[in-house]
Chain A
Amino acid sequence: MIHMQKAEKPEIEKNSPHITKEELDRAFDERFPVWMKEKLQKASVAVAGLGGLGSNIAVSLARSGVGHLLLVDFDLVDVTNLNRQMYMIPHLGMPKTQALHDILMQINPWLDIQTRQIMVTSENVLELFGGWPIVCEAFDRPDQKAMLVGSLLSQCPDTIVVSGNGMAGLGDANDIRTQQKLRRLYVCGDDTTESAPGAGLMAPRVAICAGHQANKVLQLIIGEG
């Protein structure tokens, strides 16, 4: 059974009559040209995996005003996520899709955010991501990353994939970079440092890698990629 949840009016909007969409738009317009905002508001980006990479990517995209987001993850927020993921103690036990939806609605309640709480397999990649022009791969396990990237590139011929690969530990932050590896594939990370017992994922490098992914997405949308 696949659940589709549409964005509902968040509590924050009901309780905060002081900010309007026009004010948020004006704040953006003071810093960037109007055409840029319009491109971002029209853009659609899917994020597969809502852990350290995916939650940080989604927050960056929401802050940047990317208008249409699809958030996909099967998992619940766990105490082991708090060291690097966007979630907070009140989110423990919630589906990551719902927790992240709530966080994004507090950043910009006028975004169109779809969520799917489901495990991604090579069998449902087309149904989930077909038609999405940009998909961020933000999974944790290497076999799942390879499955998703391979399936997206072979099944979704118009989709550009922005993947995260190698960001564990406390190595040099400058080793994390963005590379175009294939015609429709960008890979961010150091390509080598994997999470292992005693050498886990730390917030800074995960956020840096997520920042690389989100930045590449914005470049692709704006047309400077």
Chain B
Amino acid sequence: MVTINGKQEQAAGMTILAYLQQAGYTPERVVVEKNLEIIPRESLNSTLLEDGDSVEVLRFVGGG
């Protein structure tokens, strides 16, 4: 199990990019922190989620 935004998710084995797409996020509009480390945008496709990972996905909306 992977903890994503405080919820337990069956996402172990997926890349972060695959998880984001499945969950309906636009990858260009999020900041992802995994185990207290920011994952650069270009690494989303090469970073695997593993059992026990703790992930925060922050979604940004337009306007400023």
Distance in angstroms from A60 CB to nearest chain B CB is: 15
Asked if A143 contacts B61 (CB within 8 A), the reply is no
Asked if B61 contacts A153 (CB within 8 A), the reply is no
Given contacts A143-B28, A150-B41, A154-B38, are A182 and B33 in contact (CB under 8 A)? yes
Complex-state Cα separation, A163 to B29, whole angstroms: 14
Asked if A149 contacts B31 (CB within 8 A), the reply is yes
Q: Identify B58's interface contact among A183, A187, A194, A206, CB under 8 A.
A: A187
Asked if B64 contacts A139 (CB within 8 A), the reply is yes
Given contacts A150-B40, A150-B41, are A195 and B62 in contact (CB under 8 A)? yes
Q: For residues 160 through 205 of chain A, which have their beta carbon under 8 Å from a beta carbon of chain B?
A: 163-168, 181-183, 185, 187, 191-196, 201
Distance in angstroms from B45 CB to nearest chain A CB is: 15
Asked if A182 contacts B60 (CB within 8 A), the reply is no
Chain A interface residue count, CB cutoff 8 Å, equals: 38
Asked if B62 contacts A142 (CB within 8 A), the reply is yes
Complex-state Cα separation, A164 to B32, whole angstroms: 17
Nearest chain B residue, comparing its CB with the CB of A143? B28
- Is B48 engaged at the interface, CB distance under 8 Å to the other chain? no
0/1 interface trace, chain B 32-64, chain A, CB 8 Å (1 if under)? 110010101100000000000000101111111
Asked if A193 contacts B31 (CB within 8 A), the reply is no
Distance in angstroms from B62 CB to nearest chain A CB is: 4
Complex-state Cα separation, A205 to B25, whole angstroms: 25
Q: Identify A146's interface contact among B29, B33, B56, B64, CB under 8 A.
A: B29
Query: Which residues of chain B have C-beta atoms less than 8 A from A192's C-beta?
Result: 61
In this complex, the member of B56, B60, B61 whose beta carbon has the largest number of chain A beta carbons within 10 angstroms is B60
Complex-state Cα separation, A143 to B28, whole angstroms: 5
Q: For residues 5 through 42 of chain B, which have their beta carbon under 8 Å from a beta carbon of chain A?
A: 26, 28-33, 36, 38, 40-41
Apart from A49-B64, A168-B62, A194-B61, list 7 A-B contacts with CB within 8 A. Answer: A143-B29, A146-B58, A147-B41, A165-B60, A182-B58, A183-B36, A192-B61
Complex-state Cα separation, A37 to B39, whole angstroms: 38
Q: Identify B63's interface contact among A140, A150, A183, A185, CB under 8 A.
A: A140
Given contacts A142-B29, A143-B29, are A51 and B61 in contact (CB under 8 A)? no
